[in-house]
Structure 1
Amino acid sequence: MGLLSNRVARESLKPGDHIYSWRTAYIYAHHGIYIGDDKVIHFTRRGQEVGTGTFIDFLLVSSSPTQVPCTTCTPAEEDHGVVISCLNCFLSGGILYRFEYSVNPALFLAKARGGTCTLAVSDPPEVVVARAKYLLENGFGCYNVFKNNCEDFAIYCKTGLLVLDNGAIGQGGQVASIIGGPLAAALATPLRLVTTNIYGMAVSAVAMYCANRYAADIGSGMRRDVVKVSAEDLTRRLSTGLLQVIEPLPSVPHSVS
């Protein structure tokens, strides 16, 4: 596993793997769940979506898989955004990487950016594939770059973990990374009042950036808005607004409504 990304060969893939491919000059990545037989289930901007009104919308459009004629894939008729594609269409000419789970804190913090690994523990492969196939049939809600994107979808399929707080960012790490860099720089700016050492300011900014990424990770244990939810309850939440927690994390109340 590299410090930037974990590039893998196609023949090493196993059903239940969370895979991704960088888009837009490595600014953003598209994520999905490999289910075997050269097929990937992933969440796209098709159907309903929430825009940001910023340049990030452009990044998301350019990060989506290129729509090219394919003799293997059949265009989906559903409008909920969860689709199944062959691996070639998913990669859209990009390089294949595998998202890592249960990484140790030191390696997580050593990563130059988010969206490549998590501290969270993955469920068994058969459970992951079953979740992805269920959501292919039932949807994953409205696409939102900050709260409900392709990385959030893949992490949910792998872990069953969901972020309850509608005002918070989602499960994924790449949004936290994109936001965390400028935020850390802004927070470190007041240090100029007490020091003119540019190196000290840079170290402080990096430390704040790493702390932000760690605290935002869904598996860090620091987020109190994370719960474990079954795919069936997720569907019920999407249709009725109700949510039944089947396996809350220690820091989360035992039930919500």
Structure 2
Amino acid sequence: MGVLTNKIEREDLKPGDHIYSYRRAYTYSHHGIYVDAGNVIHFTRKEGQETGAGTVLDRFIEVSLPPQRPLDLDNPCPICGDESKRDGVISSCLDCFLSGGDLYLYEYGVTLTFFLAKARGGTCTLASSESPGQVIHRAFYFLRKGFDVYDAIKNNCEDFALCCKTGLRVNSTVGQSGQASFIQAAASAGGILSATVSMARSSILGVAGLAASCGTYCVQRYINDIGVRGDVMNVVLEEET
């Protein structure tokens, strides 16, 4: 664990951990809550559905899919069954969740320096996690009740895991997902850098453009983190009788 990687071994997992695994050559990551005994609760959707976001982010943030390996309908997973055909909040074994990828641990309560040093979003947050018992309780609640409609920008698997861990949700055009804010920040910074480079005629202007783009990227990531945003609300779970 550290700035360079959040990779973790299976034997180090603890109930209530927010875990993730990269898909499709690291283009995006799929997130979930580790419960216990090799079980993971996560938010997903069926392959082939449209995100419906209608923004440039759709091209960058792939939708979290169930296991990518070909389905064997005659021989479903002996541990969790044929969860791959379902969408919404599901419970599956760790192997099906990882789908052949490596295991990573999402970090909470990191310092601002550490947060900004992590070049890629969707790996850590300034926000603090609540107790493992509260996290697991929310995960099972959403497993029964659902987590609204999946949206790659406003309501994705990372949003689900963040809500389970912190009890907070964002009601905005962009959710609390670090992946979404990362792409948004990169797009804003890239636009400034491209414009500056096209006009630059000296190394000084080039350096200034680079500094401006890096600053924009850091600021955008920071203000979109759930740990500092002002447009968050506490989730109140309905009492069940």
Identify the TM-score tier after normalising by the shorter chain: 0.7 to 0.9
Of residues 92-101 and 4-13 in structure 1, the stretch that sits farther from structure 2 once superposed is 4-13
How far the C-alpha of 1:75 sits from its partner, in A, is: 3.2
How far the C-alpha of 1:231 sits from its partner, in A, is: 2.8
| 2:169–2:235 Cα contact (<8 Å) kept | yes
The two structures, once aligned, show a CA RMSD in angstroms of: 2.7
Q: Which runs of no fewer than 5 residues in structure 2 stay unpaired? A: none
Q: Which runs of no fewer than 5 residues in structure 1 stay unpaired? A: 236-257
Q: Over residues 98-149 of structure 1, what are the superposed CA-to-partner deviations in whole Å (9 max), with x where a residue is unaligned?
A: 0000000000001111000000010100000000001001100000000000
Q: Over residues 134-189 of structure 1, what are the superposed CA-to-partner deviations in whole Å (9 max), with x where a residue is unaligned?
A: 10011000000000000000000000101123xx2101101111121121121344
Q: How does 1:71-90 map to 2 (within 5 A)?
A: 71-75=78-82, 81-90=88-97
Name the CA distance, whole Å, in 2 between partners of 1:15 and 1:147. Answer: 26
**Percent identical:** 49
Which of structures 1 and 2 has the larger relative contact order (alpha carbons within 8 angstroms, sep 6+)?
Answer: 2
Counterpart amino acid of residue 52 in structure 2: G
How far the C-alpha of 1:201 sits from its partner, in A, is: 1.4
Equivalent in the alignment of 2:211? 203
Corresponding residue SS for 1:144: coil
Name the CA distance, whole Å, in 2 between partners of 1:77 and 1:180. Answer: 32
The TM-score normalised by the length of structure 1 is 0.81
Q: How does 1:32-111 map to 2 (within 5 A)?
A: 32-46=32-46, 50-52=51-53, 56=58, 60-61=62-63, 64-66=66-68, 68=71, 69-75=76-82, 81-111=88-118
| 1:33–1:132 Cα contact (<8 Å) kept | yes
| 1:163–1:225 Cα contact (<8 Å) kept | yes
Is the counterpart of residue 215 in structure 1 residue 217 in structure 2?
Answer: no
| 1:24–1:62 Cα contact (<8 Å) kept | no
| 1:50–1:142 Cα contact (<8 Å) kept | no
Name the CA distance, whole Å, in 2 between partners of 1:195 and 1:33. Answer: 51
Equivalent in the alignment of 2:146? 139
Number of residue pairs aligned between Structure 1 and Structure 2: 230
Q: Classify 1:46/1:232 alpha carbon distance in 2 versus 1 (closer, same or farther; 3 Å).
A: farther
Name the CA distance, whole Å, in 1 between partners of 2:182 and 2:134. Answer: 28
Is the counterpart of residue 187 in structure 1 residue 189 in structure 2?
Answer: no
Of residues 171-180 and 142-151 in structure 1, the stretch that sits farther from structure 2 once superposed is 171-180
Name the CA distance, whole Å, in 2 between partners of 1:72 and 1:123. Answer: 29
Corresponding residue SS for 1:154: helix
Name the CA distance, whole Å, in 2 between partners of 1:160 and 1:195. Answer: 50
The TM-score normalised by the length of structure 2 is 0.86
Is the counterpart of residue 121 in structure 1 residue 128 in structure 2?
Answer: yes
Q: Over residues 61-104 of structure 1, what are the superposed CA-to-partner deviations in whole Å (9 max), with x where a residue is unaligned?
A: 57543254311112359966000000000000000000000000
